[in-house]
């Protein structure tokens, strides 16, 4: 089928390149993309810089964990906003990412507050196709997923490991289309994983994975 979404020129520079728009700020190598605005509001007391591309400007905060600098910021809802924020964060200096957010559930027993470590996503949104060649699914870095699992186990946090179904049309999900075995239903945020691959951030450092609650 001849669809513009499947036409890609992944090796060429974009007309608007983030590195030409956003100056490096010596941002921390590690960054948390937190989709819970209330958490950002509670703990964000040390601004590092202002991210200018989403909603007219939002702060990137910085903290210290285990002797390492860590950035955290609210990326905006939906894949286009989240990916734009991630592009700017990469241009500022961030390289290793983890995303933490909420999602609807396709499994009745997964109620509010259950943690799910995402190990794959069905690509039913559009943003990721501008960073990665078309495919039905995408998976995060296995090492990052294993690190998340180990950290949750160490802290005694109950969790499940499962896939998500990324979509841009939450009101057009039907029982017939619902993928079997999928745990969560985010709103297209898994497009962010394609940024690191599309930007050729080294695999060992450029890790994007997610926890949904």
What's phi and psi for 192, nearest 5 deg?
A: -65, -30
C-alpha torsion sign, points 19, 23, 26, 30: negative
Please report the pLDDT score of residue 192 as a whole number. Answer: 57
Q: Give bridge partners of residue 115 from the DSSP assignment.
A: 159
Residue 176's pLDDT band, with cuts at 50, 70 and 90, is confident
Helix (H), strand (E), coil (C) string for 128-175? HHHCCCCCCEECCCHHHHHHHHHHHHHCCCCEEEEEEEEECCHHHCCC
pLDDT of residue 54: 54
- Spell out the domain ranges in the chain: 16-212
For 50-101, write each residue's pLDDT tens digit. 776 555 578 899 998 889 999 999 998 888 888 889 999 999 999 888 888 8
Give domain 16-212's CATH superfamily: Nucleoside phosphorylase domain (3.40.50.1580)
Count CB atoms within 10 A of the CB of residue 3. Answer: 8
């Amino acid at each position: 089928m001849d669809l513009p979404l499947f036409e890609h020129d992944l090796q060429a520079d974009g007309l608007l390149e983030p590195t030409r728009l956003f100056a490096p700020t010596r941002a921390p190598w590690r960054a948390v993309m937190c989709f819970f605005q209330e958490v950002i509001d509670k703990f964000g007391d040390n601004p590092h810089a202002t991210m200018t591309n989403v909603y007219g400007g939002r702060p990137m905060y910085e903290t210290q964990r285990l002797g390492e600098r860590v950035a955290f910021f609210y990326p905006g809802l939906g894949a286009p906003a989240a990916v734009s924020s991630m592009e700017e964060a990469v241009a500022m200096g961030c390289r290793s990412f983890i995303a933490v957010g909420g999602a609807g559930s396709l499994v009745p027993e997964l109620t509010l507050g259950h943690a799910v470590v995402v190990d794959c996503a069905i690509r039913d949104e559009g943003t990721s196709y501008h960073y990665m060649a078309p495919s039905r699914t995408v998976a995060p870095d296995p090492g990052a997923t294993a690190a998340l699992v180990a950290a949750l186990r160490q802290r005694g946090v109950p969790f499940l490991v499962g896939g998500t179904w990324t979509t841009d049309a939450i009101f057009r999900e039907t029982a017939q289309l619902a993928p079997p075995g999928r745990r969560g239903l985010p709103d297209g945020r898994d497009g962010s994983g394609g940024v690191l691959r599309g930007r050729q951030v080294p695999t060992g450092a450029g890790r994007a994975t997610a926890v949904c609650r």
